Amino acid sequence: MSPKTFHQIVLRERPVADILPNTFESKTKAFDELRVGKQQALVQITYLSLDPAMRGWLRDARSYLPPVKIGEVMRASGLGVVVSVGEGSKFKKGDLVLGSLGWTEFAVMNDGALTKISPPSGSTALDFLNTLGVPGLTAYFGLYDVGKLKAGETLVVSGAAGAVGSLVCQLGKRSGARVIGIAGAADKCAWLENDLGVEKCLNYKSPTFREDFRKTVGYLDVYFDNVGGEILDLALSRLKKNARVVLCGAISAYNSERPTGLMQYQSLIGQRAKIEGFIVLDYVKEYPRAIEEIATGLADGSIKRKFHIVDGLQNAPSALPMLFSGTNTGKLVVKVSDEPRVVAKL
């Protein structure tokens, strides 16, 4: 039987700084409002990804994607199961799919906006929101295509216990680099050192962090930056000649009304270094080679991952700020449902 209603979470107002309780609001919709057209599928969402980039989508500013509109379902990548299809759809009921499904329990999607997934050996569907999805692809192309990491080099990774950072660390180890991670808690550092094998993890909350950074790192070849701010500025003061700085994110500044500027940027000149931002969507045609390599690591156990799962769509708004306070370890996702409960074709 189909439910009578379902829930969505929409953007209520744009936050100026931190995401607040009234940033989003929940809406109850009648299920019979859903209409599946030609080459469309009705998807029941099972899991949603929470990512730092979502803070940027709330800002009414020019970027690689348009901002989420007021009153619009919050944008998010997700997993789901096809429960009904329209005429001419390439999908069938029961297909497991990936797409930009949004903060909703059900969504009618165009066929072209969905990708059918089949987890490789050693992986699960949830990995397509992590190591086999955007975070993993971001780590892969950022490290290899932008960072151009080589064996024997020193790689420093900020936000190292997050979804992207933890895979960057592991890929760096696989490439024969000396890997140093930066995180904000003792348990995160222990996980990075003991389970993922980084040479050293530095706790940026330690009162001796800046001194520890200089002593441990020395000078670096590649800095993979997920946080920006003061830590990026510190890294810029420790560059080797021809070093590469990969700008993946700036999580420390996403909630700031006026982010602070860099002071050490002149070292880029003296060290003939490069600093470069990137967007993983630019590498779509190359995704298969990255997924194949990462899937091999999952299958043989050499690539590890960790999930932080929050239960219930209603908890998505309160879970999103965890990314900016550093209270999650590994990939942060929201579990929306267990399995399809809709059997009727619309």
Would you list the domain boundaries of the chain?
A: 5-126+305-335, 134-282
Task: Enter the pTM of the model.
Answer: 0.90
Distance of CA 235 to the CA centre of its chain: 23
Helix (H) or strand (E) holding 137: helix 134-141
pLDDT(11) > 60: yes
Q: How many CB atoms lie within 10 A of CB 45?
A: 25
Q: Determine the Cα–Cα distance for residues 50 and 309; give it in Å rounded to an integer.
A: 10
Q: Which pLDDT band holds residue 1 (cuts at 50, 70, 90)?
A: low
Q: Determine the Cα–Cα distance for residues 58 and 213; give it in Å rounded to an integer.
A: 34
pLDDT(329) > 90: no
pLDDT(258) > 80: no
Q: Determine the Cα–Cα distance for residues 63 and 188; give it in Å rounded to an integer.
A: 32
pLDDT at residue 165, rounded to an integer: 96
Which tokens belong to 136? Answer: 């993993």
Q: Determine the Cα–Cα distance for residues 155 and 169; give it in Å rounded to an integer.
A: 8
pLDDT at residue 339, rounded to an integer: 66
pLDDT(346) > 50: no
Task: Tell me which DSSP letter residue 215 carries.
Answer: H
pLDDT(254) > 90: no
76-90, 174-188, 270-284, 317-331: segment of lowest average pLDDT: 317-331
Q: Determine the Cα–Cα distance for residues 174 and 335; give it in Å rounded to an integer.
A: 31
pLDDT, mean of residues 29-48 = 96
pLDDT at residue 20, rounded to an integer: 87
If you write DSSP's letter for every residue of 307-344 in order, what string do you get?
Answer: EEEEE-GGGHHHHTTHHHHT---BEEEEE--SS----S
Helix (H) or strand (E) holding 188: helix 186-190
pLDDT at residue 343, rounded to an integer: 45
Could you give the C-alpha distances from 325 to 176, 253, 332, in angstroms and in order?
32, 12, 13
Q: Say if CB 74 and CB 51 are below 8 A apart.
A: no
pLDDT(114) > 60: yes
Which tokens belong to 101? Answer: 């499904």
Q: Which pLDDT band holds residue 344 (cuts at 50, 70, 90)?
A: very low
Q: Determine the Cα–Cα distance for residues 143 and 147; give it in Å rounded to an integer.
A: 5
In three-state secondary structure terms, 1 is coil
Name the H helices within 37-121: 53-57
Task: Tell me which DSSP letter residue 14 carries.
Answer: -
pLDDT at residue 184, rounded to an integer: 94
Q: What is the pLDDT of residues 219-245, one digit of tens each?
A: 999 999 999 999 999 999 999 999 999
Which numeric CATH code is attached to 134-282? 3.40.50.720
pLDDT(205) > 90: yes
Q: Determine the Cα–Cα distance for residues 239 and 213; give it in Å rounded to an integer.
A: 12
Residue 251 contacts by C-beta under 8 Å, 6 or more apart in sequence?
52, 159, 226, 227, 228, 323, 324
Q: Which residue has the higher pLDDT, 8 or 3?
A: 8
Helix (H) or strand (E) holding 169: helix 163-174
* End-to-end Cα spacing for the chain: 12
Q: Which residue has the higher pLDDT, 197 or 121?
A: 197
Q: Say if CB 197 and CB 175 are below 8 A apart.
A: no
Homologous superfamily of domain range 5-126+305-335: Medium-chain alcohol dehydrogenases, catalytic domain (3.90.180.10)
